[in-house]
Amino acid sequence: MKRVPILATVIVAIAAAAMVSLGVWQLHRKEWKEALLARYAANEHRPAIAFPRFPDDSVLFRKASGFCLKPVKFQMEGAGRNGFRVVALCRTGAEGPGMYVQLGVTHDPHKQITWKGGDVSGYISHAPDHRALIEGIFDQRPKPLMLIADTPPDGLAANPPPDLSAVPNNHLSYAVQWFIFAGLAVLIYALALFRRNASALADRGDHR
């Protein structure tokens, strides 16, 4: 029987341990996400606040109000079967980060928007994020917030109501995947060692 290769065994053990650690980390993330979703659900029933000046995910799904001094840009964002979301970037004063407002939805990608701004009330969500997936992993800047308007301007349909199911919580499945990867790595390595030893025994038998 051949000796177990030390270097290969160490590499496989480290890789399997890393995968198990990632699985455990995802389980912790699952608990964190569940607590976050509970907070979001509670936010829907809390009193309205002024739209925050800076990103703060703790207020997602909370009712809020703001004042759009002047819309400086309109953009269309895909909304699936609802068509397109019409998002306005508003100036809120001489200084400051401004405010995103989702005015409503339309099926016309060339819709001309004539909204001039003013008081807006609704609930808080994330503004559209156009960063690529890989870029988002390394760019840890918080996502900007957006006010989803309760009442659309003329010519636009109403925004959909808050939907907590839109917040992904896939951490359990990710954890299971990492544990499976770790188990497969150990199993494949064990099978490789078994075949290696079986081949060595067969070679010895041929030379007798």
At residue 182, the pLDDT reads: 96
- CA proximity to 160, closest of 135, 193, 123: 123
Whether residues 64 and 30 fall in one domain = no
Is 19 among the domain residues?
yes
Is 102 among the domain residues?
yes
In what side-by-side order are the strands of the sheet with 145-149? 49-50, 63-68, 118-126, 145-149, 99-106, 84-91, 70-78
Q: How far apart are CA 82 and CA 98, in angstroms?
A: 27
Whether residues 55 and 106 fall in one domain = yes
SS3 call for 132: coil
At residue 24, the pLDDT reads: 96
Q: How far apart are CA 112 and CA 85, in angstroms?
A: 13
What predicted TM-score, i.e. pTM, was given to this entire model?
Answer: 0.72
Is 166 among the domain residues?
no
- The residue whose two tokens read 């100036």 is 91
Whether residues 80 and 94 fall in one domain = yes
Whether residues 39 and 67 fall in one domain = no
Whether residues 128 and 200 fall in one domain = no
With a cut of 70, list the residues of the chain below it in pLDDT. Answer: 1-2, 79-80, 94-97, 130-140, 200-208
| Total domains present in the chain | 2
* pLDDT one-digit tens code per residue, 65-74: 999 999 999 9
Whether residues 150 and 95 fall in one domain = yes
Decide: 146 and 68 in contact? Cβ < 8 Å: no
Whether residues 95 and 66 fall in one domain = yes
Whether residues 100 and 32 fall in one domain = no
At residue 97, the pLDDT reads: 65
Owning domain of residue 58: 45-161
* pLDDT one-digit tens code per residue, 139-182: 567 789 999 999 999 999 999 888 888 888 889 999 999 999 99
Whether residues 59 and 122 fall in one domain = yes
